[in-house]
């Protein structure tokens, strides 16, 4: 919860949430949504991890999630959201790789997924850089997406 205000501020940037449905324009609903996501217990080893710069531990960059798909499961999804000022610097890839290892080695998941809006080229690049495999076109929350999967047997590290 100590990162709540940083998360809310990040989400207020319309470019950051452009490809993600949510209550971003209603302050009360937005805060309730983010609080709920942070406070929910998703299962042992699952949840959200805040990202801070290694060189400045007070500089909030964004977060990585490993939670039941759409918050309910049973499948597991991975995702990331970063401040726009942190885009294109490799932070998402660097921060996601330890979560991938955690998913397979600590949590013991066999696979996880990511559905990415077809216009979100940056997130698709991150998915590919961490070794996720494109599985086809799909729809999520009524929007066309590219679907990716990672299975333990395909991990490259």
The per-residue pLDDT string of the chain (157 residues; one tens digit each, 9 = 90 and over) reads 889 999 999 999 999 999 998 999 999 999 999 999 999 999 999 999 999 998 888 899 999 999 999 888 899 999 999 999 999 999 999 999 999 999 999 999 999 999 999 999 999 999 999 999 999 999 887 889 999 999 988 776 6
Please give the structure tokens belonging to residue 50: 């805040």
Region label for 20, one of left (φ > 0), alpha (ψ between -120 and 50) or beta (otherwise): beta
Q: Cβ contacts of residue 74 below 8 Å, gap of 6+?
A: 68
Instruction: Please give the structure tokens belonging to residue 4.
Output: 């709540």
Q: What are the structural domains of the chain?
A: 4-110 (3.40.630.30)
Measured CA to CA, the distance from residue 42 to residue 40 in angstroms comes to 6
| Contact call for residues 10 and 4 (beta carbons, < 8 A) | no
Overall pTM > 0.95: no
């Amino acid at each position: 919860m100590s990162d709540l205000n940083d998360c809310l501020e990040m989400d207020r940037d319309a470019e950051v949430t452009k490809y993600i449905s949510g209550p971003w324009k209603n302050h009360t609903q937005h805060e309730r949504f983010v609080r709920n996501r942070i406070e929910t217990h998703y299962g042992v080893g699952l949840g959200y991890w805040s990202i801070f710069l290694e060189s400045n531990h007070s500089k909030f960059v964004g977060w990585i999630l490993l939670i039941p798909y759409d918050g309910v499961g049973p499948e597991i999804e991975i995702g990331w959201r970063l401040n726009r000022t942190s885009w294109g610097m490799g932070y998402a890839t660097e921060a996601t790789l330890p979560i991938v290892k955690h998913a397979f080695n600590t949590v013991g998941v066999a696979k996880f997924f990511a559905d990415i809006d077809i216009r979100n080229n940056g997130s698709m690049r991150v998915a590919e850089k961490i070794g996720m495999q494109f599985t086809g076109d799909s729809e999520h929350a009524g929007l066309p997406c590219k679907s990716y999967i990672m299975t333990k047997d395909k991990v490259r590290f």
